[in-house]
Amino acid sequence: MLRELDMWRCAIVRRPATNIRRADLETAEITWLPPKRRFAFRADPFGLWRDGRLHIFVETFDYRTLKGEIELLTLDEEFNVVRESVVLSRPWHLSYPFVFEADGETWMLPESRRSGELILYRARAFPDRWEEALSIEVAADGVDATPLFHDHRWWLFFARPVAGRGWELNIAFAETLTGRWRAHPMNPVRAGSAARPGGTPVVGADGAIDLPLQDCSRTYGASLRRLRITRLDQTDFEAVESAWLEPCPTLAPYTDGLHTLSAAGDVTLIDCKFIDRSLAANLARQRGSLARRMRRWRR
């Protein structure tokens, strides 16, 4: 049976992430990050500005190996790429490199569910040297963990897969980033095809939190929905979900999905996909499946 390949590509939208809309994707200036070689892609972009340069961390994935690594692209003020390098690689798949600043340091929280752990990394020498700082046990099997400091406390939004039912959105909280994390008593707070985090939470002037969620009802990562969280404390949770962003024709040919939105100063980072249905794509996937089985056998 032929299998389709999702081919993602990252882009910079020259608008801030605060309340960004589909119309902004149609009218804003967009800069695409360079593509990878055939049957490989970059996805899940998160970025930080330092000394006039934008450091974008992405998942880089090749269907020939079926394993993701964390890659860094450094751009100058004109968004020219001046450096590309892999900064984090493990025997297991890595993706969703949520990078952020807190307590005078720089942190990264990549998705690593296949390892059986969720590991928080600290930058030893930003942007390319990272060390393990903490294993967050309460979310060890979590996917796309998304941290937020809000109302004097750390919050962590993450998804768990549910066989035949999509995803469940869970929350954990802690007094300090490297302290003891506890599960929220109302977990799971959402379930279904749109319950997996998809980027940076945005806190509005009214204190409400807009959390991007991936909508996978039609295809994996088809679009983003907005989960507006109006109440969040150690015992309670209230939120309203609505449509947010989907691909538009100006993103062609990457119009089959959009599943990450992250803030980076005055710009927004997104990723979009097109679906490759060619025979060559199917053969690349089969080759990757064989490589994965060989890695497991060697262990």
Domain boundaries, the chain: 5-298
Q: pLDDT band for position 115 (50/70/90)?
A: very high
pLDDT at 150 over 70: yes
Burial of 187 (0-12, 13-18, 19+ CB in 10 A): middle
Q: pLDDT band for position 277 (50/70/90)?
A: confident
Q: Measured between alpha carbons, how far is residue 258 from residues 123, 147, 272 in Å?
A: 29, 21, 4
Burial of 283 (0-12, 13-18, 19+ CB in 10 A): middle
Give yes or no for a contact between 262 and 45, defined as CB atoms under 8 angstroms apart: yes
Query: Looking at residues 194-202, what average pLDDT do you find?
Result: 97
Query: Looking at residues 236-250, what average pLDDT do you find?
Result: 95
User: 5-298, which class in CATH?
Assistant: mainly beta
Q: In angstroms, rounded to a whole number, what is the distance separating the alpha carbons of residues 3 and 1?
A: 6
Compute the mean pLDDT over every residue in the chain, rounded to the nearest whole number: 92
Q: Which residue has the higher pLDDT, 132 or 18?
A: 132
Task: For residue range 32-88, list pLDDT tens digits in order.
Answer: 999 998 889 999 999 999 999 999 999 999 998 889 999 999 999 999 999 999 999
> CB neighbours (10 Å) of residue 282?
17
Find, among 275, 280, 163, 165, the residue nearest to 219 by Cα: 275
The pTM for the full model equals 0.93
Q: pLDDT band for position 221 (50/70/90)?
A: very high
pLDDT at 118 over 80: yes
